[in-house]
Structure 1
Amino acid sequence: MAEMAVRVAAGTLRLCAGVSQAALGRRGAAGLVNWRAVAPATSANLRLSSPAVRVPRAASPAAVEDGSNTDTDPIPKVIIDQDSDPDATIVEITLGDRLGDLLDTMNALKGLGLNVVKASVCLDASGKHNKFAITKLSTGRKIDDPELLEAVRLTIINNMLQYHPESSSKLAMGATFGPEAPTEQVDLDIATHIDIYDDGSERSLLVVETADRPGLLIDLVKIISDINVNVQSGEFDTEGLLAKAKFHVSYRGKALSKALQEVLVNSLRYSLRRPTTDEDSY
């Protein structure tokens, strides 16, 4: 880990195109490690209030960078990618050109029992993209637990809010963890889009876009698993106030039938809907 920290701190900035293939492998490669389905449990056990899921915070706050209080603050993005590398979970973090080497973030991830085996920084028109290849210390393999993936996501967002508090008003998580809640409110019913596409004979591609909130990744996997659909792999993107998920799913080793697709879409829409009564909000 120390060697990695020195290498990243001293590394040079490269164009994204120069690292995409060599550092991260081919996107959509076959033979991906499956995500472990969440066992049926009560909603209280699935949310991050469980003491088993601990979200490490940054070691210490840093000063807000000059010009951070302007209206040109970039949209924070955190991408958790299970598709690009068969052996590691790829995490990409973007906040315009404001992010540094994120050594505190890597140390916080180590506190979750994870190891950063690769790291790179690349540059394009949207800013710096910090990419980490992460494995579990205990197995040396990619993360297959939705609760741990959500803990990784919240750990990164916590650190971003700690070191870049100006991002709080741009993130849905700012209302929960940050110093300032977002000024813009997302209409959940309008923001939610669910689509399912054929992706060969053995799997389908589920695409979900909805308002972000803590525990969303866990809840999505549980909803899918509750109707016996298997989540094979996927990508979960946090983009400001929205979350965008792409899951490769199957049923008994086959792509989802039209009838099962309709059941899955209805289940997701029902679970993600805006509460209409006080009872629905509990």
Structure 2
Amino acid sequence: MASTNSLISSSFTSRLHHPFKDFAPQIFLHPIDSFSILSPIRRENRIVFSKRNIFCASSNNTNAASSIPLKSEQEDYVPMPVVLIDQDSDSEATIVQISFGDRLGALIDTIKALKDLGLDVAKGSVLTEGSVKQTKFFITRLDNGRKVEDPDMLERIRLTIINNLLKYHPESSEQLAMGEAFGIKGPEKKLDVDIATHIHVKDDGPKRSLLYIETADRPGLVVEIIKIMADINVDVESAEIDTEGLIAKDKFHVSYRGSALNSSLSQVLMNCLRYYLRSPETDIDSY
């Protein structure tokens, strides 16, 4: 991908620090609301969405994402929540994939929250594999119809989806780092950041490298990682942001002046990232 399509630009670099000072993920609930949404059409074990206007209602003790009451008795086994943001697989749209075992419904309120961020869910699908239901959305910006490239917005998407998951499936709280960050019951056993953190850089052709980061999740992680790369003039061309329970597993295609990173720059990048990831967590009030 050309450097003009980088996730970051020099003009954007100066405002990356603490981008969420005035932002906290919000739940968008309306007693009755009308909006253009995706209507599921079942085809065997796969559901394909088509657009139409519908009315939806939500109330207390109701899972507005699926219009099904929340279970009063939670099962002993709680599946791992997964939120994947894929910037690589589609040139026209940002792909968001959400799974939480077989407990997710239509995710109507999640789609509404994304629309309130100025985004359009162009299409989507639901695929059931065994006991896991995977919901996939193809998201574009409402103002220009293009995929999301702003790191601020990518993190807003991630936090909004996780916040909705915590709201409608509170049993997921102990499986998510955000469960503690946003005032819900956190995990009983925290991850050791030193043990959980792994960083690798390898060539991915002559013009770019693949950076892989696995570490303990926390708010603002994606934006801070990209800011660190911008500070040493490493360009981010595309990314895959994967939140799996307490762990963040992120992949970035990166380059330096149109070429792959050499061994010296790769080592500098890994050292900078390790220093940040193993440092004390950013104060949640700044978000």
Listed as ranges, the matches of 1:125-204 within 5 Å are 125=130, 127-177=132-182, 179-204=184-209
Contact 2:235 2:254 in 1 (8 A): yes
Q: CA RMSD in A?
A: 1.9
Match of 1:237 among 212, 217, 242: 242
Structure 1 residue 176: deviation in Å? 1.6
2:13: which partner in 1? Answer: 39
- Cα 1:239/1:224, change in 2 over 3 Å: same
Structure 1 residue 145: deviation in Å? 0.4
CA distance in 2, matches of 1:58, 1:35: 28
User: Quick one: which amino acid aligns to residue 35 of structure 1?
Assistant: L
Gaps of 5+ in 2: 30-57, 63-68, 282-287
CA distance in 2, matches of 1:152, 1:117: 15
* Pair 1:57 & 2:57 matched: no
TM-score scaled by length of structure 2: 0.80
Match of 1:253 among 255, 258, 268: 258
1:71: which partner in 2? Answer: 76
* Pair 1:225 & 2:230 matched: yes
Q: Secondary structure at the match of 1:200?
A: coil
Structure 1 ranges of 4+ moved more than 6 A: none
- CA shift digits 1:158-197 (9 cap, x unpaired): 1001100000011000002252111121000110000001
| Higher share in strand | 2
User: Quick one: which amino acid aligns to residue 168 of structure 1?
Assistant: S
User: Quick one: which amino acid aligns to residue 25 of structure 2?
Assistant: V
CA distance in 2, matches of 1:125, 1:230: 39
User: Quick one: which amino acid aligns to residue 14 of structure 2?
Assistant: P
1:27: which partner in 2? Answer: none
Structure 1 residue 273: deviation in Å? 1.1
1:18: which partner in 2? Answer: none
TM-score scaled by length of structure 1: 0.81
Listed as ranges, the matches of 1:110-125 within 5 Å are 110-125=115-130
Q: Secondary structure at the match of 1:228?
A: coil
Structure 1 residue 42: deviation in Å? 7.4
CA distance in 2, matches of 1:208, 1:187: 15
User: Quick one: which amino acid aligns to residue 98 of structure 1?
Assistant: R
Q: Secondary structure at the match of 2:167?
A: helix
1:80: which partner in 2? Answer: 85
Structure 1 residue 31: deviation in Å? 6.9
Q: Secondary structure at the match of 2:184?
A: coil
- Cα 1:42/1:251, change in 2 over 3 Å: closer
Q: Secondary structure at the match of 1:93?
A: strand
Aligned length, in residue pairs: 242
| Higher share in helix | 1
- CA shift digits 1:188-237 (9 cap, x unpaired): 01100000011000000000000001100101110111100000001000
Contact 1:56 1:112 in 2 (8 A): no
CA distance in 2, matches of 1:195, 1:126: 32
- Cα 1:151/1:182, change in 2 over 3 Å: same
- CA shift digits 1:34-57 (9 cap, x unpaired): 3124413474x33x22x3x46331
CA distance in 2, matches of 1:213, 1:272: 10
